[in-house]
């Protein structure tokens, strides 16, 4: 890809890591990002550099506006302007809670990290993409985010990501004349070690909840992202893509005491 530079937030582990490995194998230079996982990021950086591409690892928290600016500036200085921005990072509170039980600072953190921080990163890289008449921006959502349904006990996270759905579609329309595509990837319930596994590794496993019959893997997500980054994928923009094996993980209602 002519040394195109891909910045992947939250890429020391999990789906971000698998995406970084996939794009590096296809010849992209990679900018990794982490908050606390420095050891994992540096190990991945070394692994990627063995593939013959350039790679850096930058500490930055997408919840902090100054960090997003510093992240992109560092990438530009060390690798060059960002051609591909993959907004994978986003805080998530695993404990299920009613909205009334959230603290104000938790609400702000979830909105900042999952919506505002992504918008700021997009805003930062758009000028150079526009100038080059080429760019790929990919957001991360959750399965069925495009339907904007209720997700009890996930109110703040869901609100941020559903807001990002509208932003994805709007930005795609605005930037299409500049050769920039904007899409959203919505992984299904890909858990634990499966996030860093290949399709071959999970193909023999059984998942009775997923209509496909097997669990999802990090490769399922990474291969779609790679496809969206190709030169010939310029006609695919403004899409909200579920990668879920047909699974609908959202329970629309809850019982008292759940």
Is residue 125 situated within a structural domain? yes
Quickly tell me which residue has 């910045």 as its tokens: 7
Is residue 248 situated within a structural domain? no
- Provide the 8-state DSSP code for 99: G
If you average pLDDT over residues 124-137, what whole number do you get? 98
Is residue 258 situated within a structural domain? no
Structure tokens at 137: 């921006």
Is residue 149 situated within a structural domain? yes
If you average pLDDT over residues 93-118, what whole number do you get? 95
Give the separation between CA 105 and CA 115, rounded to whole angstroms. 15
pTM of the predicted structure, to 2 decimals: 0.92
pLDDT > 70: percent of the chain: 95
What's the number of domains the chain is made of?
1
The range of the structural domain enclosing residue 127 comes to 5-243
Is residue 151 situated within a structural domain? yes
CATH number, residue 128: 3.40.50.720
Is residue 116 situated within a structural domain? yes
Cβ(190)–Cβ(10) under 8 Å?
no
Structure tokens at 161: 């990501």
């Amino acid at each position: 890809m002519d040394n195109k530079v891909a910045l992947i937030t939250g890429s020391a582990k999990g789906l971000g890591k698998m995406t970084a490995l996939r794009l590096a194998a296809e010849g992209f230079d990679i900018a990794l990002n982490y908050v606390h996982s420095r050891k994992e990021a540096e190990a991945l950086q070394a692994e990627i550099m063995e593939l013959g591409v350039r790679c850096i690892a930058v500490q930055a928290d997408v919840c902090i506006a100054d960090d997003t600016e510093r992240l992109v500036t560092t990438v530009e200085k060390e690798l060059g302007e960002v051609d591909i921005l993959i907004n994978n990072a986003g805080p998530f509170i695993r404990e299920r809670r009613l909205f009334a039980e959230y603290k104000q600072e938790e609400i702000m953190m979830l909105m900042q990290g999952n919506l505002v921080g992504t918008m700021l990163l997009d805003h930062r890289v758009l000028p150079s993409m526009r100038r080059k008449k080429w760019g790929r921006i990919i957001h991360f959502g959750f399965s069925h985010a495009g339907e904007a349904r209720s997700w009890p006990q996930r109110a703040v996270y869901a609100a941020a990501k559903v807001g990002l759905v509208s932003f994805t579609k709007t930005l795609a329309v605005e930037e299409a004349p500049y050769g920039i595509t904007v899409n959203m990837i919505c992984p299904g319930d890909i858990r634990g070690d499966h996030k860093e596994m290949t399709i071959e590794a999970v193909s023999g496993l059984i998942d009775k909840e997923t209509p496909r019959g097997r669990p999802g893997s990090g490769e399922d997500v990474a291969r779609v992202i790679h496809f969206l980054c190709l030169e010939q994928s310029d006609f695919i923009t403004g899409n909200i893509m579920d990668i879920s094996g047909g699974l609908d993980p959202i329970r629309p209602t809850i019982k008292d005491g759940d």
